[in-house]
Amino acid sequence: MNTQTAVGRFGRFGGRYVPETLVPALMELEEAYAAARADPTFDAEVAQVLREFVGRPTTLTPARRLTEAWGGAHVWLKREDLAHTGAHKINNTVGQVLLARRMGKKRIIAETGAGQHGVATATACALFGLPCEVFMGALDVERQALNVFRMRALGAVVRPVESGSRTLKDAMNEAMRTWVSQVSDTHYVIGSAAGPHPYPTVVRDFQAIIGRELRTQAQAAFGKLPDAIVACVGGGSNAIGVLHPFIGDPSVRLIGVEAGGHGLDSGQHGASLTLGTEGVLHGSRSLVLQDADGQIQEAHSISAGLDYPGVGPELAHLAKTGRMEVRTATDDEALASFYEVARLEGILPALETSHAFARGRELARELGAGKYLVINCSGRGDKDVATISARGVPPAVGVKP
Amino acid sequence: MSGAIAKAFARAKARGEGALVAYGMAGDPDLPRSVDVFTAMVEGGADIVEVGVAFSDPIADGPVIQGAAERALKAGSTLKRVLDEVVPELHRRCPETPLVIMTYVNVIMAMGEERFAKLARERGVSGVILPDLPPEESGSLRATFDASGVDLIPLCAPTTPPARAEAIAKDARGFVYCVAVSGVTGMRAELPADLSQRLELVRKASPMPVVAGFGISTAEQAHTLSAHADGVVVGSALVRAAHAEGPQAARALCAEIKRGLKR
Ligand SMILES: Cc1ncc(COP(=O)(O)O)c(C=O)c1O
């Protein structure tokens, strides 16, 4: 189903609010992308890399012990954590780097929060032999040390960003500034379904492989479409990727879970769909966390990938029109879910993904027995073990200390 | 269009000079002292003053102006306070000098387009520059500004294809701001070799004056450019001077650039 209401617009949201210097590059990208989509060899090339290198399709796994523990709907997991590099981010970077190569671009820049998008970009660049520079908030450089190492090992240059909140939003500012200066030969791989047109569309299309696979897999696994699908929402790429192919299926409830941080009334969260107001950030009009004077507020989440005061315009549109339901999970709830999923299913979910799990329990109960709930596992938690273990590991179930 | 901007260019031209558009950050180091900086720029010879209103995420700005924006926000600068506490006082001290607000689109949206346009006009603002608002996105805002008599000044970039540059130039309000370098604000030792051709192209297409900005910091650069443009914008160099040494340094730098602008 098409949610685009005009070129680059999703209802009131979207657009292209960038310095004039970048407008021609965005137009060039839009044209090159349209040409690539019209060329079956491009699709075939992307599909081949996803199959041979990324390991797609990712599996759809029954979560039997969670289903039992939650006592409601059947819970199934779409396993983006099993994609190469450990998160859905690779779907988009493979597509964009191939597109950049097609456009004759000489180098790649990217921003990253949790580091997953940075790793995925560095990986695609290594695979196709392009130099890669990744901007990352200095705070995130500290809390995601493993991913910083992985990017460097893959040959990327990591640039810590010291301005502002020293997190994802500042990394994105810096990447945009750098792109303005090098726009003729550089492609900027944006990591979420955010940013100026055509990025929200490009990223969504590359991520929609998740939802398309899920449609086929759900039919095979339980003979119908899921009754509900839940995904965490940072900028929104894993959410739009898994949800988009179901927008036109009214029987499927679509649910996005945002970072509740220390709680919605603490002022420290990343809940831009829930509490954001209309504004312009990083080139698109969407829902953003801002004060009454239009200054962007710092987001907070225990998960670096959800620590962003904006959200992609298409999700803002889906939320405002009611097609997508929006909920939040706090840092503590996400942490508790991390252990619950680890101990019941043998999966360490990323802290981002743990937010989706945190709302899974009540969703499973709301839906009730006989219904099917799919949780999108956007990534694996290996990158978060330092953050999580620093808080002390609770004793294992059934083991007396 | 606002007569004040046209008059300022005409006055400079009559004196055989290119116009100096001087940028400063309102609220750096604090709101009252930034008025002193702006006033000093006018005393130094600035023909038009660009009043920067800080935004938390200034994607078109380099480190100098970014730093100034951070200081201004810490000092409590907001669009409302700039319109209440900086613009009227500056207008009172320098009644002849057109004032142009430079900020980002989110800051205007947060206040509300109409409320801003009305307040801006009442307080003596002649024009507005929004570096993240390309022509495709500017329709409604420009209509609102047109109705209030505030000029939405468009930007043209080195990457803008000629036909698009001509369209921007033809339809301009106030003046055309030609971004000199592919990049963010900040001083540059060298300007692109093809800049003069680009300026001539825009100048031919535009009924409005054309200025070059971004990267310009010396009298020599201003001199070279004034053969191809109606004026220059100087920003980072002034912000840095004012931050390091106060209003008198901004006054001296304006005077020096003005000497370069003599034809
Ligand atoms: C594992 C994982 N999930 C989710 C996200 C959030 O991004 P998005 O909302 O674009 O999927 C990230 C971002 O870094 C991530 O690494």
Identify which of A20, A280, A292 has the shortest CB distance to residue B179. Answer: A20
Whether chain B has a CB inside 8 Å of the CB on A15: the answer is yes
Tens-place pLDDT, residues A109-121 = 999 998 999 999 9
**How far is the CA of A229 from the CAs of A232, A385, A395, B133, in angstroms?**
10, 26, 31, 37
What average pLDDT score do residues A332-338 get? 98
Give dist(CA B133, CA B139) in Å, integer. 10
In this predicted structure, which of A105-114, A136-145, A365-374, A389-398 has the lowest mean pLDDT? A389-398
Beta-carbon separation of A295 and B56 below 8 A: yes
What average pLDDT score do residues A53-79 get? 98
> Are A169 and A160 a contacting pair, CB within 8 Å?
no
Residue for token pair 């950030």: A281
pLDDT at B2: 61
Whether chain B has a CB inside 8 Å of the CB on A9: the answer is no
> Are A268 and A295 a contacting pair, CB within 8 Å?
no
Low-confidence ranges of chain B (pLDDT < 50): 1
Give dist(CA B218, CA B226) in Å, integer. 12
Q: Which of A79, A89, A301 to mutate to test the pocket of ligand 1 (most atoms within 8 A of CB)?
A: A89
Hey, is B50 helix, strand or coil?
A: strand
Beta-carbon separation of A177 and B78 below 8 A: no
Ligand 1, pocket residues at CB < 6 Å = A 87, 113-114, 116-117, 192, 232-239, 305-306, 350, 352-353, 378-379
> Are A60 and A214 a contacting pair, CB within 8 Å?
yes
Hey, is A203 helix, strand or coil?
A: helix
Tens-place pLDDT, residues A199-212 = 999 999 999 999 99
State the closest ligand 1 atom to the C-alpha of A234, by its place in the atom list counted from 1.
9
The pLDDT of residue A83 is above 80: yes
Q: Which chain B residue lies closest to A280 (C-alpha atoms)? A: B106
- Please tell me the residue having the least CA distance from ligand 1 atom 10: A237
pLDDT at A2: 74
Identify which of A15, A176, A184 has the shortest CB distance to residue B59. Answer: A176
Tens-place pLDDT, residues A152-193 = 999 999 999 998 889 899 999 999 999 999 999 999 999 999
CA A72 to chain CA centroid, nearest Å: 27
**How far is the CA of B18 from the CAs of A143, A264, A277, B8, in angstroms?**
52, 54, 43, 10
Residues of A in contact with B183 (CB under 8 A): 21, 180-181
Residues of A in contact with B134 (CB under 8 A): 16-20, 23
Beta-carbon separation of A23 and B157 below 8 A: yes
pLDDT at A399: 64
> Are A111 and A93 a contacting pair, CB within 8 Å?
no
The pLDDT of residue A1 is above 80: no
- A331: its two tokens: 């840092």
Tens-place pLDDT, residues A245-285 = 999 999 999 999 999 999 999 999 999 999 999 999 999 99
Which letter does DSSP use for residue A78 in this model?
E
pLDDT at B1: 44
What average pLDDT score do residues A227-249 get? 98
Name the strand (E) or helix (H) holding B122.
helix B113-123
Neighbours of B200 (CB within 10 A): 14
In three-state form (DSSP H/G/I as H, E/B as E, the rest C), the secondary structure along A222-269 is HCCCCCEEEEECCCCHHHHHHHHHHCCCCCCEEEEEEEEECCHHHCCC
Give phi and psi for B50, each to the nearest 5. Answer: -100, 115
Mean pLDDT of chain A: 96
Residues of B in contact with A295 (CB under 8 A): 55-56, 73, 78, 107
Distance B80 CA to ligand 1 centre (A): 36
Give per-residue burial for A210-225: e unless 16+ CB within 10 Å, then b. Answer: bbebbeebbeebbeeb
User: What residues contact residue A277 under an 8 Å CB cut-off, 6+ apart?
Assistant: A287, A288, A290
Residue for token pair 């801006």: B120
pLDDT at B181: 93
User: ipTM exceeding 0.95?
Assistant: yes
- A110: its two tokens: 């990217």
Neighbours of A5 (CB within 10 A): 13
Whether chain B has a CB inside 8 Å of the CB on A196: the answer is no
Give dist(CA B241, CA B59) in Å, integer. 22
Give dist(CA A242, CA A217) in Å, integer. 13
Mutating which of A12, A30, A165, A295 best tests the B interface, going by the most B Cβ atoms within 10 A? A295
Gap from A137 CA to chain B (nearest CA, Å): 14
Beta-carbon separation of B159 and A292 below 8 A: no
- Of A30, A78, A80, A89, the catalytic one is A89
Give dist(CA B204, CA A116) in Å, integer. 49
How many Cβ contacts (< 8 angstroms) between chains A and B?
117
Catalytic residues of B: 50, 61
Tens-place pLDDT, residues A133-153 = 999 999 999 888 999 999 999
> Are B179 and B156 a contacting pair, CB within 8 Å?
yes
Give dist(CA A299, CA A310) in Å, integer. 9
Mean pLDDT of chain B: 97
Nearest Cα to Cα of residue A374 among A60, A58, A55, A70: A60
pLDDT at A94: 98
**How far is the CA of B130 from the CAs of A398, B54, B255, in angstroms?**
62, 12, 27
Residues of A in contact with B105 (CB under 8 A): 17, 280
DSSP bridge partners of B152: B128
Give dist(CA A200, CA B152) in Å, integer. 28
Residue for token pair 């080195």: B158
Mutating which of A9, A13, A21 best tests the B interface, going by the most B Cβ atoms within 10 A? A21
Give dist(CA A331, CA A263) in Å, integer. 8
Whether chain B has a CB inside 8 Å of the CB on A281: the answer is yes
Residues in A 350-369 with any Cβ partner in B closer than 8 A: none
State the closest ligand 1 atom to the C-alpha of A191, by its place in the atom list counted from 1.
10
> Are B204 and B171 a contacting pair, CB within 8 Å?
no
